[in-house]
Structure formats: C-alpha cells, structure tokens
Structure 1
Amino acid sequence: MRKVFLVVTVLFTASVVLQLYFAAVGVFSNPEDELFAWHGTNGRIVLPLLALLMIVAAALAKAGKRTIWLSVLPLVLILFQTVLFILTGVIFGLDESSHADPPLAATLFLSLHAVNGAAILLVGVLLVVRARRLVRDGAPAKPAGPVDAAPAAGDEAAVPSA
C-alpha cells in the first residue's frame, strides 16, 4: 500500500503542475477557444479526486499521523481555491457583469488563488518526498517506549536452574 501512496502522491503533484500549465494555456489563448475550461475541469474534478485518494492511501499505508494529516491539507487548500472566488464576490459585490472590469482590490485579493496554488504544489512535493521515504525506509519511526523488563518466553537465561 505504500507504493500506492507514492503513486497517488506523484499523480497528484503532476496534476497540480498540469493545472498551472492549463491556467497559462487559458490565459494566453483566444477566449473564444475556451481552453481555460481545462483548468476548471482539472481543478474541480481531477485534483479533488486525487486528493481524496491520497488521504485514503496515506491512511491505508500507515504513513504516520503527521503524514496522514498533511495529506488532508491539499484537499483543504483546493476547497479554499473556490472559497476565494466566493469571498471575492461577497466582499466586493461582484456579479457576472463586473467580471470584465473588477476593482483593483478585488483583483489583488483574487490573485491569492495563484499563491494558494503554489502552496498546493509545495505540499504535494513534500508528500512525494515523505511517500518515497516511506517506501524506501519502511514504517515511520515510532517513539521509543519503556523497555519491558520481563523476560521473553523461551528465554533460557530467565529460567531458574533446578
């Protein structure tokens, strides 16, 4: 299951890189071509599904509490991408007609979408590193517990002599 976790994290991170590429394709293309739809489809369908799979794979791989919780972060950040649009509309009173000429403050606020995207990419790369380490080294290190003083069963040194 650890290899599955690694594969899912790599697919997720590659999909985030594609998301950045799709955003650039949409921005630098003719609006009539509607190529920006690739960015929307990947961001609304592919990335959330891979993020959910990553959480499940991390849990099943027994990746450790920190890594499992870290694997939840991309999904939260992806959801925040949509919340940014909602907040911008609410805060600045934008509707469909004002998208062509938004106020500067709304543009600056909504530009956090790109910064949040970079954070998603960084978390994805960190999870790939952790997944690779998990595959290479095995189970995450557990804190050392108290040493059991009782002898193990079958230990001849612990058996009293007659």
Structure 2
Amino acid sequence: MRHIISILVENEPGVLSRVAGLFSGRGFNIETLNVAPTLTPGLSIMTITTHGDEQIIEQIIKQLRKLVTTLKVVDLSEASSVEREMMLLRVDAEGTKRAEILRIVDIFRCKVVDVSPEELIIEVTGEQGKLTALINLLQRYGIKEVARTGAVALRRGMQG
C-alpha cells in the first residue's frame, strides 16, 4: 500500500542523508521525496511517499522518530489529508496537434507556461491519478520530457 509520511525536521546539514540512509539501510524504497522550509526558522518539512504493509510502515516511523533531528512524524495515509503534486511536460505540438493538445490542457485545467513553434511546456497540479491520466492522454502526441515534484500533503482540518 502507498503511504505518505510527513516528517518535521531541524533544517541542518546531513538531515536528508540520514533520513534517506535510514530507508536504504533497511531496504525500503523512497518513491518520492519533497523537502522545504516551514514558517518556523530552522525547521523543514519532508514529505516522503513509499510502499509497504502496515508492519513495515510502523517500523519506518519508529526508526524516523529515533533520529535526533526529527521533531514529528505523521503517516498522512491514516488521516484525512490533501495531497498534490506538480508536473511540467514538454510536448511535441507541431501543426494540427496543437489545437487538440490545448483542448486537453483546458479540460485538465493545466497551464501552458512556454510556447515555441514545435512544442509546448505544460504545468499541471493535482493528485497522482490526474497526472497519470494526463500523461496517458498526451503520450500519443509525443511527450519529450517530464519533471515532477513528488507529493506534498497536509492533514485536513483540526486533526492535531
């Protein structure tokens, strides 16, 4: 099962490598990783997506909590949360393809952020399923390049 783990950490050198080392040292895979500073100076939030059964995820969380620089660890998969990912796609858009691609962009509420005579760069934000569906639709036009941020997520409402 896919899990999204949110980790509040002290923003100091080596924290990312210790967290990544914890995963790799135990044979766990990080599917996506996103790190950014919080509003509190000196603190960052790491959002990691990984796969595993409940027992494996419980072990990961316990190990993460043992790290000195870790202040809080939450499995957002267990709570009601909002998850988003941002993706940029470079798509071949020559000739008659362009109008069809622009219709798809409109349906998916994407933005065209760069235009050239031969291609478009499209920005899309949403859940993983939306991004996958867009990729599947645009593949027939020729996707030249994809860049994705990985998941970011927050718990909904007043869940502590």
TM tier, smaller: under 0.3
Which has the larger strand fraction?
2
Higher relative contact order (CA 8 A, sep 6+): 1
Normalising by structure 2, we get a TM-score of 0.23
- Structure having the larger proportion of residues in helix: 1
Normalising by the residue count of structure 1, what TM-score does the alignment of the two structures yield? 0.23
